[in-house]
A and B are shown apart, each in its own frame.
Chain A
Amino acid sequence: MAERIIELRDISKSYGQVYALGGVNLSVDRGEVVGLIGDNGAGKSTLIKILSGVVKPTSGEILVRGKPVTGWSPARSRDAGIETVFQDRALAVQQTIVRNIFMGRELTGWLGWLKVNKEIAEASRLMREIGFTSKVFTPQSIVGQLSGGERQGVAIARAIYKKAELIVLDEPTTALSLTETAKVFHFVRQVRASGRSILFIGHNIHHVYDIADRFVVLDRGKVALTADRSEVKSAEDLINFMEDVAHPSGLPGLHDAGDAGRAAR
């Protein structure tokens, strides 16, 4: 079995009286793409924030490569190889691709002078690694000239720099056209091919179905379903299941995995 990069066990988070998450289990293995689906308010954002260390869970356990960790923080999360690409504007659009990739960790030599050529070479390497190449732009192109999907490419290239092993993509295809979404998928496949894992968050089920190896459906702070790709026949299956969860009318879903499903294995 592939190495387990991270595992969240029985994670709960409450803001005062309001429960955002109630006992969520989530794990990501090496080299897999996990699709996290859920409606607005299902607790996706809270879960990501817990994963990246920004928010502390009220209760629950976090295991990195099978070992429980204490004092989970953004720095710890990064040390564990988790990089989060947030959906909001995470790029400086007037700067070059190179400057965005090395934002906050510039490659410098003597007295803080930039090693410009080394940065460009390193940026090219990262961009090739995720298949983010083209004849119309170079690492020194301005990010503002790129399309939405290409900007995600910059963000992903930035995320895989250094020892990132799990890339968390928060709604990377929201507000993107079909072609741009295809570009993002292309990058995601390349990242998986390089042996890294991806947690792909979205509320467009078709997008998540197209890219993920495993699906986790969140609903009102609980895992409503985890299923391997082989267990779900089509995106419509997932959609039907989501509708059942949202409007329980008696029809059983694929797996009622809330407590006993694969998430708890």
Chain B
Amino acid sequence: MSKTMEPDLQSPLGGTHGETAGKEWRHPSDNWLRGFILDNRAALGTLAVFIVMMAVFMIANPIVFTTWYLYSSVLTTLPVALFVVVPLVFVVTCGEIDLSFPATMGFASWVFALVVQAGYDPFLGIAAAMITGMLLGFLVGSLVVYGGLSSLIATLGMNFLLRGLIQIINEGRSTALTGLADSWAYKIFSSQLYGIPVQIFWAIGFVVLSALLYNRHRFGAQVKVVGDNPDSAQQMGIDVKRVRVKVFVFVGIGAAIAGTFSVMINFTWWPTAGDGYLLPVLASVFVGGTPTWGGIGTVVGGAIGAVTVSFIQTGVVAAGLSGFYVQFFNGLIIILSLLGHKWNQARYR
């Protein structure tokens, strides 16, 4: 009996390690497909939710859901959300939250509108908007990180503060940018290509680049480690505060692009630009499979989450239900997704 209790001190990991030591490592499943599914289970789960939802909509109203117009309108507005959902996945992974992005969208697109209205090239306006977004992100991030404030409350405050500033200065007036339609910037960023809104291509490019940044770049690796165990990251020489500020700057840049795109769709800047995005964007991140506790997340899942959320509203109305059902279905999808992710993902902390 004691023989089985005694651990083998010489090779406690089992007698097999001697043989395997010389060979290459193999995934336990040694099947690339299974490995792929395991590595991307959150994103694939989100995709499954989306497919089921679309199937239900299509059965409810096959005519509307097989016409291109519906998709075209979603593909025009979806990119705006994608440009903020994706950076927010980084923020949430880092263990923070940013609720100030709607005001950053409004502020940066306001700068864009001012530059264009003053007669400068829209490209210059886009550059100015992105710099504005970057600076605002840095401001919000520094306030949270160096000021040692709770990001939930501090960014909420910054959202009101910045939006209030916009409202005070503009006194509620919007800015029409009629000249935009003839510009090169509009053709490149906001026209159609073979009938498909061109914004979606830029958004897909942004999602792919961000996914690579998240999974295959030092930035993503450090964001995950900081969100997972900041003490350990600090001990291993990572500048934790800097990484945290960087994710807020990333949101600032994303929000600036999103704000600019939304102005280019409408040819008009409103002082409320971006306001409506707060809750759908946050919902997208979590519907996408990024958990609230930090350390892990999925950019592609977040993007699919954004697609799901943007189809709910269109879908509910198109399926023949009244607009009163929209909120109900929004909530239903969010809750079902969260339950699904809880079952789908193991939690290691």
Which residues of A line the B interface, CB within 8 A?
86, 88-95, 99, 102-106, 108, 112-114, 116, 120, 124, 128, 131-140, 142-145, 149, 158, 178-179, 181-183, 185-186
Alpha-carbon gap, A145 to B296, bound state (A)? 15
Q: Is B10 an interface residue (CB 8 A)?
A: yes
Given A134-B16, A137-B28, 16 more A-B residue pairs with CB atoms under 8 Å apart are: A89-B232, A92-B295, A94-B224, A95-B225, A103-B232, A105-B237, A106-B222, A133-B13, A133-B20, A135-B20, A135-B28, A139-B25, A144-B349, A183-B12, A186-B9, A186-B10
**What are 24 A-to-B residue pairs whose CB atoms are below 8 Å?**
A88-B231, A92-B232, A92-B233, A94-B224, A94-B296, A95-B225, A103-B232, A108-B217, A112-B218, A113-B216, A113-B217, A113-B218, A114-B218, A133-B13, A134-B13, A134-B20, A135-B14, A138-B28, A183-B12, A183-B13, A185-B12, A186-B9, A186-B11, A186-B12
- Pairwise interchain contact A116-B216, C-beta atoms closer than 8 A: yes
In whole Å, how far is B149's beta carbon from the nearest beta carbon of chain A?
A: 24
Main secondary structure of the interface of B (DSSP, over half): loop
- Pairwise interchain contact A95-B17, C-beta atoms closer than 8 A: no
- Pairwise interchain contact A93-B229, C-beta atoms closer than 8 A: yes
Which residues of B line the A interface, CB within 8 A?
5, 7-14, 16-17, 20-21, 24-28, 212, 216-219, 221-222, 224-225, 228-229, 231-233, 235-238, 295-296, 346, 348-349
- Pairwise interchain contact B221-A106, C-beta atoms closer than 8 A: yes
Specify the chain B residue showing the minimal Cβ separation from A141. Answer: B28
Alpha-carbon gap, A138 to B217, bound state (A)? 21
- Pairwise interchain contact B231-A93, C-beta atoms closer than 8 A: no
- Pairwise interchain contact A90-B348, C-beta atoms closer than 8 A: no
- Pairwise interchain contact A90-B216, C-beta atoms closer than 8 A: no
In whole Å, how far is B342's beta carbon from the nearest beta carbon of chain A?
A: 15
Residues of A close to B237: CB separation below 8 A: 104-105
- Pairwise interchain contact A105-B229, C-beta atoms closer than 8 A: no
In the complex with contacts A133-B21, A140-B27, A182-B7, A95-B228 CB distance below 8 A: yes
> Quick one: which of B216, B221, B348 contacts A144, CB cutoff 8 A?
B348
